[in-house]
Amino acid sequence: MRITGCGRRAALCSGLAWLALATAGCGVGDGAGAASGKLFVLDCSSSGDYCDSTGYCGTPSAPADYDLQPGFFAGEPIDGATREVNGSQWTGSQPGMNRLIIRLQRSGKQIENTDTLFIDVVNAFEVARCVRGREAVQADGSTQHDYDDRYCSRASATGPARVRISYYGGIVHGTLSPRLTCIRPVDASADDLFPVDGVVQVESSDNWRSWIEFADFGSAAQNDKADPTTRDPVSPTFQVELGQRLHASAFSLTLLDEKVEVAQVELKPPLAPDIGGSLTGWFDFHLTRGQGAQMFP
């Protein structure tokens, strides 16, 4: 784990104090976090499969220890007006919502030359609704969740919002790309129960294979309003602004070879995975954007 400027001086690095953020030394890549677990990668290098620091080489049935050791934290906002949400796979909300790709990297090198965990928020509006936790009052006086129960779970009105992560559909995707650890490109996606009929159902978050809990997602949280019915509706054009906080108090990912996920989605014969495992952790940083943090030129 690495703790840098923004992790130590979170009070100074508020979303409303962009100038203070700059003068406090909260620069591109600064933040705090951790991501570790179990991993296997077949033919990871010229010497064979992925092995941990003790020399144990992981297998699909018994993965080896793995630590991402994130030292660089970045976010890449993408304007929804220029894109679709998850192609044609996701039909749970309007197309064209804003997107945010969060990256936890071992170093600030280009993503082709370092281990990277991607948290791809494909619909910032839906994630923001989950984090806000608003309850809408109905005509009969009853209340209804103002968020999608298929992808959102809240244990309390003011606690972190747990968001479901899945490859197929969903509002958040996750991918581990160990490009420094392994010499060949291989990616593991955050797995979820695959809906055979193509329809994602509401189920307990205890059964979710992969999830992330957001304590702060830009300006989404309104925990100062203890009564969820008094919270404001989230704008469909919601996005996390530069200088605002991204704080995941916890995440838990079940990792599966991306090619296996693709075969499931395309209803092809099952494939044997070359990579897989699990990853848990957290992160806390303020969204900055600069030459070192951008995925695209």
pLDDT band at 285 (very low <50, low <70, confident <90, very high): very high
* Mean predicted confidence (pLDDT) in 93-102: 75
Q: Three-state DSSP class for 162?
A: strand
297 domain-assigned: no
**pTM score of the predicted model:** 0.85
* Mean predicted confidence (pLDDT) in 130-153: 94
Backbone angles phi, psi at 279, to 5 degrees: -150, 135
Does pLDDT of 86 surpass 80? no
pLDDT band at 281 (very low <50, low <70, confident <90, very high): very high
293 domain-assigned: no
The residue written with tokens 């994630």 in the block is 127
The single-letter DSSP state of residue 87 is T
Number of domains observed in the structure of the chain: 1
Q: Identify the domain containing residue 13 by its residue range.
A: 2-286
Taking only the tens place, the pLDDT of each residue in 204-218 is 999 999 999 999 999
196 domain-assigned: yes
CA separation (Å) from 216 to 124, 207, 245, 285, 287?
13, 24, 6, 10, 12
Distance CA(27)–CA(290), nearest Å, equals 9
| Per-residue pLDDT at 217 | 98
| Per-residue pLDDT at 290 | 52
267 domain-assigned: yes
16 domain-assigned: yes
- Among 15, 33, 28, residue whose Cα is nearest residue 293: 28
Least confident of 10-14, 157-161, 170-174, 176-180: 10-14
Distance CA(256)–CA(236), nearest Å, equals 32
| Per-residue pLDDT at 129 | 97
Does pLDDT of 199 surpass 50? yes
Q: How many CB atoms lie within 10 A of CB 98?
A: 22
| Sequence-ordered list of residues with C-beta below 8 angstroms from that of 276, at least 6 positions apart, any chain | 39, 40, 60, 63, 188, 255, 256, 257
296 domain-assigned: no
111 domain-assigned: yes
Strands 99-105 and 72-78 come out as antiparallel
Does pLDDT of 27 surpass 90? no
